[in-house]
Amino acid sequence: MFQFQNRKEMEALSEALEKLINGEAPETAGISQDTLPSKVRSQILRLGEIMKAKDQALGKEKEEIRGMIADTAHQLRTPLANMESYLELLETMDWEEKERENYLLALRESQEKIRFLTEGLIKMARLESRIIQIRKEARDLQETLLESILQVKKEAEEKHIEIRLEMK
């Protein structure tokens, strides 16, 4: 009788695990008992809940990345359209040097926007395909901010943008 009961409990646990593997919710019957199989079944249920929550978080993250990629692709259209217009104007009209320089400057700014957005798209694609992996680690905030500022300092100076960091 003991072996039969033990086998029956093991089969029930195996069935609960199989349901969990298949993405189904295991049955909750028999969890309230104070036995080892009941404890294991309870742990299987908790594991299922954890897996479901992680699945939902992953799905949400993927949707956010898809949204950012779609938004970036949409943002690329404006500078591209600007570039096409400026190029057409430069090719079809006879401009004075100053006017020509203004259009070339506008072209350059549009090109920089496109480069920035394209780099962002590439990073998002790498993030989504797991080429880039985010690691959480404890870091000094001031040090991190200084590193970030140093990465954009040259471009900011070229555009006459002043970056200040005030820490209290």
User: From first to last of its 168 residues, what are the pLDDT tens digits of the chain?
Assistant: 446 567 888 888 888 888 888 888 777 665 667 777 778 888 888 888 898 899 899 889 888 878 888 888 888 888 888 888 888 888 888 888 888 888 888 888 888 888 888 888 888 777 777 766 677 888 888 888 888 888 888 888 888 888 888 877
Q: What is the DSSP letter of 26?
A: P
Q: How far apart are CA 20 and CA 27, in angstroms?
A: 10
Q: How far apart are CA 129 and CA 111, in angstroms?
A: 27
Alpha helices in 22-140 (DSSP H): 36-92, 97-128
